[in-house]
Amino acid sequence: MKYQHIFFDLDRTLWDFDKNSIKTLEQLYRDFGLKSYFGNFLFFKNRYEYHNKKLWIAYYQNRIEKEVLVYRRFHLTLKEAGLDDIELAKEIAADFIELSPLQTETFPHTHDCLEYLKSKNYQLHIITNGFNEVQGRKLQNSKLEHFFSHVITSENAGANKPHPQIFEFALNLTGAQLEKSVMIGDDLTTDIKGAREIGMDHIYFNPKKKSHQENTNHEIQSLKELIGIL
């Protein structure tokens, strides 16, 4: 085999972040009676996603701390509905962290694909920018945990993807050789660019068939396509 170690991103690659996030936000919307402020769930969801995306970019760039990101995304969302309440935002944020990893939606063929790769004796690992207290529980609740030898988080590595440090940390931790490793992820900036810049082969998971100009080693729309590649 060309590869011995396969590194997967988690969110939006195996664990369906978007579906699971909507389920969590819907529950928070109900539990905290937010309809009286936002009028409808779609407005709440859209404004949350807008602020969440901007704050994650700031986090990747080391402009804000994790603890700030966690509650500010809700605080800014509440403010758009005329509710400037940091304490309420922190309550919602705490519940989000608690409820989100309980969701178990994965992409089609996730389990079958991982079973196949394990049967071929590949060493499987996760490299994720997600938070320690959340990612492990996602894997456990989605019955994915047993497939992976190591879960490398940006917190443990001291750097976020696409910084070379997190990939180097992953290689050292797993004992993997660069030329016998491949990264699989949905994000061209963090997963694919990060892998390319250290010389690691990569497979771009693009289920929505987004148009782009990047050169990738492989591109797939379904995880079952990995069976033909690996």
* pLDDT, tens digit (0-9, with 9 covering 90-100), for 66-82: 999 999 999 999 999 99
CA distances from 11 to 33, 36, 170, 178 (A): 28, 31, 18, 23
Homologous superfamily (CATH) for 17-102: Putative phosphatase; domain 2 (1.10.150.240)
Helical H segments across 81-144, by residue range: 86-99, 110-119, 132-141
pLDDT of residue 122: 98
pLDDT at 61 over 90: no
Q: Place 127 in a pLDDT band, splitting at 50, 70 and 90.
A: very high
Q: What is the pLDDT of residues 96-118, one digit of tens each?
A: 999 999 999 999 999 999 999 99
pLDDT at 142 over 90: yes
DSSP-derived secondary structure letter, 179: G
Q: Kindly indicate whether the domain formed by 5-16+106-229 is annotated with CATH number 3.40.50.1000.
A: yes
Q: Angle at the Cα of 148 (from 145 to 196), degrees rounded to 5?
A: 130
Domain coordinates in residue numbering, the chain: 5-16+106-229, 17-102
Q: What is the pLDDT of residues 35-54, one digit of tens each?
A: 999 999 999 999 999 999 99
Mean per-residue pLDDT of the chain = 97
